[in-house]
Amino acid sequence: MLISVVATILIFAGGVVDPEAEYKEPVLLDTLLYWIGIMIGITILITIGFSIAQFGKNLFTDPKKALLSLGSVLLLAAVFVVTFVMSDSSQPLEITGYEGVHNRGVWLSVVTMFIDTIAIVASVAILLMLFGGLFKMKK
């Protein structure tokens, strides 16, 4: 947490690369982005590790629950595959200030896949929050 706070403070206190540029870029932006990447990587590893441990524990104590959790992971993987296949990589996204090569082809499909998957998962979560209580009351 302390490293995150210090990196954020350094972004605002470190100055900019070119003060005359239309879009100001902080000097230490790369440092913050690398730190964010490290934190996301650690989060993913911890999440996968605990999921595998929980699956292994449930496999011996409650196999039905273990297979249900495996089914939800497979369903999410299926959503990833479907959204990747349905993505349109012919029209690049309009990103202000970006003119690189990663806005075409496979990378554009990957970005579209993640955006669509986030929208689907968020929609399902909202529907479950709204109507999930109805299913509990029926039982």
Lookup result for tokens 């993640």: 114
Task: Report pTM.
Answer: 0.60
pLDDT value, residue 83: 93
Total domains in the fold of the chain: 1
pLDDT digit string (tens) for 47-79? 889 988 888 898 889 888 888 888 888 998 999
Q: Provide the 3-class DSSP secondary structure of residue 26.
A: strand
Structural domain containing residue 131:
2-138
Lookup result for tokens 């730190």: 35
Other beta carbons within 10 angstroms of residue 98's beta carbon come to 10
Q: 9, 14, 12: which is closest to 27 by C-alpha?
A: 14
**pLDDT value at 138 more than 70:** no
Residue 94 DSSP one-character state: -
Q: What is the mean pLDDT of residues 9-36?
A: 85
